[in-house]
Amino acid sequence: MIRRWATWQGRWAGLAVVMALVVAGGTGLDARSARAELVIDITRGVTDPLPIAIPDFGGADGSTLSMGRNVAGVIGNDLGGSGLFRVLDKAAYLDPLPTLASMPQFPSWRALNAQALVQGEVQALPDGRLRIGYRLWDVFAGTQALGRAFTVQPNNWRRAAHMIADDIYKAITGEGGYFDTHIVYVAETGPKNNRVKKLAIMDQDGANQRILSTNESLVMTPRFSPSAQEITYLSYFNGVPRVYLFNIETGRRELLGDFPGMTFAPRFSPDGNRVIMSMAKDGNTELYEMDLRTRRATRLTNHPAIDTSPSYSPDGRQITFNSDRGGSQQLYVMNADGSGVQRISFGDGTYATPVWSPRGDLIAFTKMKGGRFYIGVMRTDGSGERILSEGYLVEGPSWAPNGRVLTFYREERAGRPTLYVVDLTGQHERMIGTSTEASDPAWSPLLP
């Protein structure tokens, strides 16, 4: 378990000394006025990354100092990997900041052109837990923008670091972070003609990779529930596709149903009570919605074409899907009850795997054109199409919970399937290393 402290103030008597230091170290400006000076406007598209200094967190002994280096490293990797921050080289730091009570020497940091400074400390508590505290400083204003502490078990230090990175990202950009999350994916091994595909999960930065399915050899299309505690996926056993619900915390697997001919595993509704799926029945592939409480399936589309890849809008009122009902594979939007079907993709090529953004403003997709694959986004009415990535095979976009970053998988002609992330500018793409070949990623909501 990990305990998140909402603020420094008044949540635990043991924080009283640190609270006093935070107040005494201020300059009379509260956090809101300080944040006004330290802002990245990410609504303007491509922007220069903000220079930020993240010294190693302090500690009282070798163990906490080592942990402090690790925590600072994870925070730096998170923020630097977003493309919005440029983490300054630690070799240039002149101000060591040994404790959380140490006041920064702002001229030293201004000389490095650092606009933001993260100061932190790791403390070992008598009960074996760790208290990881930090302060975010606006270097040029000389004011504190944010200060928090997290109390965690030692094996949860990475999650505390991700939470701190989320705090900093939100304080400076005004948007929610996405670092305290998981990515579920398909781990692939074996020769091309006899692939073993298992359900796997990891932190969004590639740490803590583990296999979740041990008895299955062919797993496809894993998707998270809104609670981030359950995964739905499709598994083939003796050639029969079955859809399962998997509880991450308990490891319990529950059969949702046998659906011969089903083409894609279901996606959860925003409230988590329903799933939507494409299912072949009576020689035709249509979209169905299943109530998880009653296990009753309701047919939503009725057309001789193939309707697949459904995804709910964040408010649950609409569904996007792809269909060849217009003569080629294109994207459509309809009401949640199946009415009001409208085509939204009209560009060159064919379109697939639409996924509605958590923000509700965009739909991500895979596009095929001229023997190449593309990952792109468009507005929900089909306007404003933008391509973010392309390759021999790029497929399966999935949104980070803040709607600013996508994960997908890439495979070159002679390469291995590998996971990538890219932001909405298309300028910041990076690989996520995995211990096996990997495909079909899905991003979780922020962890509870």
What would the mean pLDDT of 183-194 be, rounded to a whole number?
Answer: 92
State the average pLDDT for the chain: 88
Q: Which amino acid is at 76?
A: G
Comparing 337 with 214, which gets the higher pLDDT?
A: 337
pLDDT class of 194 with cuts at 50, 70, 90: confident
For the entire predicted model, the pTM comes to 0.89
DSSP 383-448: -S-EEEEEESSEEEEEE-TTSSEEEEEE--TTS--EEEEEETTS--EEEE--SSEEEEEEEPPPP-
- Looking at 176-235, list the stretches that DSSP marks H as alpha helix, in order from N- to C-terminal side: none
- Is residue 34 predicted with pLDDT exceeding 50? no
- The closest of 216, 143, 206 to 179, measured between CA atoms, is 206
Tell me what pLDDT residue 37 has: 63
CA pair distance 268, 290, nearest whole angstrom? 10
What are the tens digits of pLDDT across the range 423-439?
A: 999 999 999 999 999 99
Cα separation values, 79 from 73, 86, 95, 178, Å: 10, 8, 21, 10
Query: How large is the C-alpha radius of gyration of the chain?
Result: 24
What are the tens digits of pLDDT across the range 113-142?
A: 999 999 999 999 999 999 999 999 999 999
pLDDT class of 27 with cuts at 50, 70, 90: very low
Structure tokens that stand for 217 in this block = 């050899």
Comparing 425 with 4, which gets the higher pLDDT?
A: 425
What are the tens digits of pLDDT across the range 59-97?
A: 999 999 999 999 999 999 999 999 999 999 999 999 989
